[in-house]
Amino acid sequence: MDGVVVAVSRSEAHTFAKLNQDSIQLLTGLGVEGDSHLGKTVQHRSRVAVDPTQPNLRQVHLIHSELHEELQAAGFVVSAGQMGENITTRGIDLLSLPTNTKLYMGNTAVIELTGLRNPCAQLDRFQSGLMAAVLGRDDQGKLIRKAGVMGIVIVSGKVNPSDSICVELPPILFG
């Protein structure tokens, strides 16, 4: 289950969209160099307001480009970085990966997934109806969040568009 990096993005300010870059530098335990969400402790404004000392489990945001294509087919105008992601991928079902999955990118960078991204109202401020478009229900009525995944940097490294991504699932523990 390998994939590829389609785009890399960052924003020094707390803006919704992030600008595409030629490359980004991931820093162990911190996130994306030069990005507003860089830090050991939480940087998302809503979470800082609750407890600024909690660890930053949202250092890197990843979205699969297949979501962009799905949204475009539904009439939305969206491309890499516009939904706040740092890394846009192709060929990996990010949403199905369990917590603690490791993604190896470029020559050295490693990201460990910490969970799904919870869509927020900023999506609707970007384009009306976008939040509802990234939420769904499965056959049992369970909520499906499609707005990507979050992760932490466990090994520093440079990430470029067209870098390969190798997926390492966490070990299965038997009790």
Radius of gyration of the chain (CA): 15
> Quick check: 104 pLDDT over 70?
yes
Short-list 55, 69, 65, CA closest to 9: 65
Tell me which of 47 and 24 has the higher pLDDT.
Answer: 24
- Cβ atoms of 37 and 18 closer than 8 Å: no
**Number of C-alpha atoms within 13 angstroms, CB side, residue 117?**
27
- Total-model pTM: 0.93
Question: Does the 3-168 domain belong in CATH 2.40.33.20?
Answer: yes
pLDDT computed for residue 48 by the predictor = 67
Mean pLDDT, the chain, whole residue set: 93
**pLDDT tens sequence across 110-156:** 999 999 998 888 898 899 999 999 998 889 999 999 999 999 999 99
Cβ-based neighbour number of residue 133 at 10 Å: 20
pLDDT computed for residue 25 by the predictor = 98
